[in-house]
Amino acid sequence: MNDVEKRKQPGWKNIIAWGSGDIFGSGSGTIIGLWMLYFFTQVAGLSPVEAGLIFAIGKLWDAITDPIVAYITDNIRTRFGRRKVFFLFGAPFLIVFGLMFVSGFGFAYYLATYLLFNTMFTVVMTPYCTLPNEMTDDYEIRTKMGSCRLTFGQITAFVVTLVPGLIMSNVEDEAQAFIYIGFLFGFIFTLPWYFIYKYTWEIEPSRLPPQKEVSSIKETLVDLYKEMASTLQIKTFRIHLMMYIGGSVALDIFGALFLHYITFNLNLSAGEGGQILSVMTFMQFFGVLTFTWFALKMGNANAYKIALGLMFVSLAFFAILPNVALDVSEAVFIGAVLIGLARGGIYLIPWVIFNSIPDVDEILTGRRRAGIFSGVMTLGRKICQASAMLIASIGLQCVGFESGAKVQTSETISGVYWLFLIGPTCLATIALFGATLFQLTKQNHKILINEVSRLRNGGAKQDALPHVVTVVEDLTGWEYKYMWGDKKKKNKTYLLHSGSSDKTIVER
d(CA 32, CA 100): 10
What are the structural domains of the chain?
8-213 (1.20.1250.20), 229-439 (1.20.1250.20), 444-507 (no CATH)
Average pLDDT over residues 27-44: 78
Q: Are 282 and 158 in contact (CB under 8 A)?
A: yes
Tens of pLDDT, residue by residue over 249-272, are 898 888 778 877 888 899 887 667
Assign 477 a pLDDT band (cuts: 50, 70, 90). very high
Query: What pLDDT was estimated at residue 335?
Result: 92
Average pLDDT over residues 76-105: 84
Q: What is the mean pLDDT of the chain?
A: 83
Query: What pLDDT was estimated at residue 403?
Result: 56
Average pLDDT over residues 380-384: 72
For residue 7, pLDDT over 80 is answered with no
d(CA 278, CA 272): 10
Which of 135-139, 354-358, 404-408: highest mean pLDDT? 354-358
pLDDT top residue among 169 and 361 = 361
d(CA 277, CA 30): 12
Tens of pLDDT, residue by residue over 295-310, are 988 999 999 999 999 9
Average pLDDT over residues 48-64: 78
Query: What pLDDT was estimated at residue 485?
Result: 83
3 state DSSP class of 263 = helix
Query: What pLDDT was estimated at residue 221?
Result: 67
Query: What pLDDT was estimated at residue 508?
Result: 29
**Lowest model confidence (mean pLDDT) among 118-127, 177-186, 484-493:** 484-493
User: Pick from 504, 451, 457: which is nearest to 477 by CA?
Assistant: 504
Tens of pLDDT, residue by residue over 390-424, are 677 677 778 887 755 678 888 988 998 998 999 99
Percent of the chain with pLDDT strictly greater than 70: 87
d(CA 490, CA 290): 47
Quick one: DSSP state of residue 492?
A: E
- List C-alpha distances in Å: 129 to 19, 35, 41, 260, 385: 10, 26, 33, 34, 19
Which of 11-20, 195-204, 490-499: highest mean pLDDT? 11-20
Tens of pLDDT, residue by residue over 93-123, are 888 899 999 988 999 999 999 999 989 888 8
Q: Within the chain, how many helices (H) and strands (E) appear?
A: 21, 2
For residue 380, pLDDT over 80 is answered with no
Average pLDDT over residues 272-283: 80
Query: What pLDDT was estimated at residue 1?
Result: 42
Tens of pLDDT, residue by residue over 149-166, are 888 988 888 888 778 877
Q: How does strand 504-507 pair with strand 492-495? A: antiparallel
For residue 496, pLDDT over 60 is answered with no
Tens of pLDDT, residue by residue over 318-347, are 999 988 867 788 889 999 999 999 998 998
For residue 385, pLDDT over 50 is answered with yes
User: Pick from 124, 118, 119, 109: which is nearest to 39 by CA?
Assistant: 109
Assign 497 a pLDDT band (cuts: 50, 70, 90). very low
Flag whether the pTM goes above 0.75. Answer: no
For residue 211, pLDDT over 80 is answered with no
For residue 192, pLDDT over 60 is answered with yes
Query: What pLDDT was estimated at residue 101?
Result: 92
Number of CB atoms found within 10 A of residue 329's CB: 15
For residue 488, pLDDT over 70 is answered with no
3-state SS of 56-71 is HHHHHHHHHHHHHHHH
User: Pick from 15, 240, 237: which is nearest to 146 by CA?
Assistant: 15
Assign 386 a pLDDT band (cuts: 50, 70, 90). low
Query: What pLDDT was estimated at residue 206?
Result: 67
Average pLDDT over residues 213-234: 74
Buried b (16+ CB within 10 A) or exposed e, 253-263: bbbbbbbbbbb
